[in-house]
Structure 1
């Protein structure tokens, strides 16, 4: 069976690539991480077929874990009443005790469900279920699989179905889970990440989706030159990168209800049309955007300074910049603080 990982850039049509593979004959399982991307996939499936076909199954990752993996394969042995996404489990409980995986309300800790399935030797049974019910397995947002969930991802490659993984390494802004040192440094190095996946025998494709339909050549050049993330554009028309250094200009942009303001965090504290950098991943509805940055990043984007951001900050900034279909405004957060 073909097993392929397509490494894509922002706006290159990752979701559409999956949709184009779907038909009414093959049974297909699609897994994605975020609720936003789940909705996008669902809408595009309905748009393609004018209804949601019965031969296509779409899961968010944790719904897949709980409904497709845990419930039919382990619930007869372990009682559980849902998933605990908030409370962190005790790091010092032994892995052979239920307290290691379940809270006092019998909810499974989200970051240890995959670990529980592995410890109970359920991974092979999961692959058997996939092979029994489906012809194809598609996993979107593969760059967000971390901790114990990455171990499950690697195991899923053993299912006897055609497999397509799609993701953008540099859009790794969230983790499906964290658990101590389990795959802790997985996303610190692109090269090491690729080598780890190559060990599975999966075919890696970094050319099919290496151009953006969303971002202009101007925005792509900014991302490549300032962040060190290579991205090219299908577009030919240039756009504008506007470095704001005037308070009155800043006020007019902040008051503009059409231009979305993208903050590193806590966008809700500002009385304007806004989102956080990482949270806007998967969204493709913005024309002009305004990136609100601190002094360090402002200088980096407006001058010829080198990229020395942490991987997390760099990735979130990449996500934010790549939301632009048209012009980009760079706004120092000191102006926002005056209007807060």
Structure 2
């Protein structure tokens, strides 16, 4: 499949998004390509895939985090156009939105640019310079490939609109159901945050700015897991499994707290938890957000109260953070088990497919 101008690929968990990006980029040996993503975890996975497939990252391909790219190619080269003469040192990452920032207050006293302001700064700078940033990028890259598109928010979308209307071929890949992070907390385009970015993409498609492709086949998850995950986001296309292997313990299960030790001993699952404060009874657990992009044979999930409520009612409005639930479930190839205190959820150990 050839990379075309302005393509968005909406692909379910386990469909091979990273493999697609790497293999397609490796075909374009005579083109300059940027591959960018938000999280360092995903960046490391992309680099590892290139090394696995090609032995190295080819010289025509740059793999760079979104923030690093914006700082290097958007902020520093043209910061004086925004009447800021001192060299911007680095990015100051904010966990929460500050209510005290003025619109034009982009920097800390240490010459660091606020993470919530990076995209806005680059957008305003490009506008003020009549497109000099994007014109420069057009001379550097033929393709910009964006992974984990669902993490993008706020003024990121303004920048993507500029990219769509440039000479650069844009390929954006993601799964809106996996929107567990956001690049910033800006209220700009708040109606398109997280899984709602799909609505923004649909608008761009209607305006003939992009072409949307969908891949709903999971090579990772078996049928029961695909069905359960599909029910979390019923408005999205149903997932279909390409994993037909049977192991004797397959599907979705609920395990009582008293049986956790035995279950771990018998099945050796990877333990997933909502946050670092989640009690996993002394067992090592991985935060769900950090597990995104990974594949495990089996997972054992210590659910939140809203997740437990969803298991009881199948009411998605009560599931809490649906994206984290979806990510947790779709890490597994063969089995997913939830730790529960209510024995009525277990149904004598039967498979609890949603």
- TM category, shorter: 0.7 to 0.9
- 1:147 corresponds to which of 128, 145, 154: 154
What is the 5 A alignment of 1:1-340? 2-23=5-26, 24-74=29-79, 77-78=83-84, 79=86, 80-86=88-94, 91-96=99-104, 100-120=105-125, 121=127, 124-179=131-186, 181-187=187-193, 189=196, 192-198=199-205, 199=207, 201-206=209-214, 209-228=215-234, 229=236, 230-237=238-245, 239-245=250-256, 247-253=257-263, 258-266=268-276, 270=280, 271-284=282-295, 286-301=296-311, 303=312, 305-309=314-318, 313-332=321-340
Report which stretch shifted further, 211-220 or 129-138: 129-138
The CA deviation at 1:88 is 5.7
Q: 1:66 to 1:296 in 2, by over 3 A?
A: closer
Is residue 101–residue 108 contact of structure 1 (8 Å, CA) maintained in 2? yes
Q: Provide Cα deviations, 1:163-205, integer angstroms capped at 9, x if missing partner.
A: 21100011111110012x2112213646633333323620111
Is residue 69–residue 126 contact of structure 1 (8 Å, CA) maintained in 2? yes
Q: Indicate the SS of the match to 2:172.
A: strand
CA–CA separation in structure 1 for the residues paired with 2:75 and 2:37: 18
CA–CA separation in structure 2 for the residues paired with 1:236 and 1:123: 54
Q: How large is the Cα RMSD of the aligned pairs?
A: 2.6
CA–CA separation in structure 1 for the residues paired with 2:95 and 2:150: 24
CA–CA separation in structure 1 for the residues paired with 2:267 and 2:283: 7
Q: 1:292 to 1:87 in 2, by over 3 A?
A: closer
Q: 1:204 to 1:93 in 2, by over 3 A?
A: same
CA–CA separation in structure 2 for the residues paired with 1:87 and 1:324: 29
Q: 1:25 to 1:282 in 2, by over 3 A?
A: same
The CA deviation at 1:257 is 9.1
CA–CA separation in structure 2 for the residues paired with 1:255 and 1:123: 63
The CA deviation at 1:243 is 1.3
Is residue 267–residue 274 contact of structure 1 (8 Å, CA) maintained in 2? no
Q: 1:268 to 1:257 in 2, by over 3 A?
A: farther
CA–CA separation in structure 1 for the residues paired with 2:106 and 2:153: 17
Q: Following superposition, which runs of at least 4 residues in structure 1 exceed 6 angstroms of deviation?
A: none
Q: 1:259 to 1:280 in 2, by over 3 A?
A: same
Q: Could you state the TM-score of these two structures normalised by the residue count of structure 2?
A: 0.83
Is residue 288–residue 328 contact of structure 2 (8 Å, CA) maintained in 1? yes
The CA deviation at 1:273 is 2.6
For structure 1, which runs of at least 5 residues remain unmatched after alignment? Answer: 336-340
Is residue 154–residue 200 contact of structure 1 (8 Å, CA) maintained in 2? no
CA–CA separation in structure 1 for the residues paired with 2:115 and 2:62: 22
Is residue 148–residue 175 contact of structure 2 (8 Å, CA) maintained in 1? yes
Is residue 176–residue 198 contact of structure 2 (8 Å, CA) maintained in 1? no
The CA deviation at 1:330 is 1.2
Is residue 309–residue 318 contact of structure 2 (8 Å, CA) maintained in 1? no
- Name 1:338's counterpart in structure 2: none
Is residue 33–residue 60 contact of structure 1 (8 Å, CA) maintained in 2? yes
Q: Indicate the SS of the match to 1:288.
A: strand
